[in-house]
Amino acid sequence: MTAAILLFYLCSMTQIAIRSHALNAPKRLCAPLAALGQEAPDTASRFRRWRGASGGAYLVSVYPITECPDYVEAVLIAVEGSTGACVWIGEAGPGGEDLAETLRVAAEAGATEVHVHLLAGDAADRAAAIRDIDGRH
């Protein structure tokens, strides 16, 4: 475990999952929205769909990790953009400086994008989405 990943683990605001890129290589859990691709390729690159262990789909907005808006109470997935590997998954919490620090440490651990799921209505729904996307039921 590198120092950056260890620091990332210690500094995270909520639940955390550090993933090995090798573990994610055989299956792609994140896919572009094909329905948007032909008519609006720019829009299609802004949205993705993550598939949870349950088979449930989670619509996310995609941002470069350095340009993520200051969301609160959202599910965040820090992703290594070229491979689609999940580096970190958790909750935005209260946002602000805590969110900025979490994203900074995720970037140090290899994340280049952040995928934001805004449709989980409350803390229980966000926790369930995190467990499902992470594969922990």
For the stretch 44-69, pLDDT in tens is 678 888 999 999 999 999 999 999 99
Report how far apart, in Å, the C-alpha atoms of 94 and of each of 35, 54, 76, 84, 121 are.
33, 28, 13, 26, 15
Q: Which pLDDT score, from 0 to 100, does residue 48 have? A: 87
Report how far apart, in Å, the C-alpha atoms of 57 and of each of 1, 8, 29 are.
31, 27, 10
Q: Which tokens belong to 69?
A: 């808006």
Q: Which element (helix H / strand E) includes 114? A: strand 113-117
Mean pLDDT (the chain) is 78
Cα torsion 96, 119, 53, 115: sign: negative
pLDDT-based confidence at residue 135 (cuts at 50, 70, 90): confident
Q: Decide if pLDDT at 27 tops 90.
A: no
Q: Decide if pLDDT at 88 tops 70.
A: yes
Give dist(CA 65, CA 30) in Å, integer: 17
Average pLDDT on 70-87 reads: 91
Q: Decide if pLDDT at 130 tops 80.
A: yes
Give dist(CA 81, CA 72) in Å, integer: 23
Q: Which tokens belong to 106?
A: 């995720």
